[in-house]
Structure 1
Amino acid sequence: MRTVVFYENTPEGTMEKMMEVFPKHQENEDQFVNAGKIIGIGPFSVPGQGAMGIFTDRESAEEFVKNDPFVSEGLVTYTIKDWVDDLEEK
């Protein structure tokens, strides 16, 4: 089962602040991508509407969020949902 993380920007999550923290966020993301724990991740097409990531499992998603400076700096809130990927078994 895959796990999806949805991020929503907080009022503190201005573009200026996001860009300031982004290099630390990118380091965290790169570690998970290189470990094969992220299937896809990125912002929605309209700026300020948040982002989502698809993870290989819930443990990876929870670990990512725990280490993400966007979360620890209060720039985003998040929701984690388990997702049954019909193509996963094929």
Structure 2
Amino acid sequence: MEFVVMYSLSEGVEGSRILETYPRHKAYFEAFRAAGGGLIALGPFQTTDPAGASMGIFTSREDAERFIAGDPFTVEGLAVPRILEWNAVRFD
């Protein structure tokens, strides 16, 4: 089982704030992954919806919670996360 973190933008957040914060978010997720933080994949959905959304996939709930706790997007109040358990069906 894996854990998906779904992010939606906080109400009233401007795109410019996301762009301004993104370099800190990128440095954070790269360091988290390099430290073995159980991050499998992450990224935004391609949409014209101004509310925006993104997700990350983690190997454990603990890793997902730890990621959220330090991510600049959540720490700075730009995104609202929720964690979902995901029973992925593998075709490998």
Q: TM-score range by the shorter chain?
A: 0.7 to 0.9
Deviations 1:22-73 (A, max 9, x none): 1111111102322261111000001542100111111110000000111111
Select which of 63, 72, 78 maps to 1:60: 63
1:8-33 residue CA offsets vs partner (Å, 9 max, x unmatched)? 01134321001111111111110232
Q: Please report the TM-score for the alignment, with normalisation by the length of structure 1.
A: 0.86
- Figure out how many residues of one structure are paired with residues of the other and give that number: 89
Q: Distance in 2 between matches of 1:37 and 1:70?
A: 19
- Equivalent-residue separation in structure 2 for 1:62 and 1:45 (angstroms): 25
- Give the alignment's TM-score, normalised by structure 2: 0.85
Q: Runs (4+) of structure 1 moved beyond 3 Å?
A: none
Q: d(CA) in 1 for partners of 2:83 and 2:14?
A: 22
Aligned to 1:45: 46
Structure 1 Cα separation of the partners of residues 14 and 47 of structure 2: 14
Q: Which residue of 2 aligns with 1:80?
A: 83
Q: Which runs of 5+ in 1 are unaligned?
A: none
- CA RMSD, Structure 1 to Structure 2 (Å): 1.8
- The verdict on how the C-alpha distance between 1:36 and 1:77 changes in structure 2, with shifts beyond 3 A counting, is closer
Provide structure 2 residue ranges, at least 5 long, that are not aligned to the other structure: none
> What is the identity, as a one-letter code, of the residue corresponding to 1:32?
F
